[in-house]
Amino acid sequence: MHTDEYEISIGREVALCRRLIKRLEQALRDREERYAMTTEDLLLALEERRVAGERPEFREWREDHLELKYRRRQLSEYVAALKGLRTS
């Protein structure tokens, strides 16, 4: 058994995740434009040490990419939980 509060709480988390994902996607697009390379190209360049990984802007770019992956996974889990509540 669940209460409406569960749905409301998870619904808020879904909305928060969506806002964060949107912000992170825009930040990645902005960096891709600024540096004329894709995020995947940056990650490969960091791995191959073709760019300096200690540069703050590249470190932040990589961290935003990882955060985006995490938030997408989290959103998927919240949506599944919300769907489960609504069908029970």
Query: What predicted TM-score, i.e. pTM, was given to this entire model?
Result: 0.88
Task: Note the pLDDT tens digit of each residue in 2-26.
Answer: 568 989 999 999 999 999 999 999 9
Domain boundaries, the chain: 4-87
Quote the CA–CA distance of 70 and 86 in Å, as a whole number: 24
Q: Is the alpha carbon torsion for 13, 19, 20, 21 positive or negative?
A: positive
Q: Could you read off the pLDDT of 41-65 as tens digits, one per residue?
A: 999 999 999 988 889 999 999 999 9
Distance CA 49, CA 22 (A): 29
Does position 1 have pLDDT exceeding 70, yes or no?
Answer: no
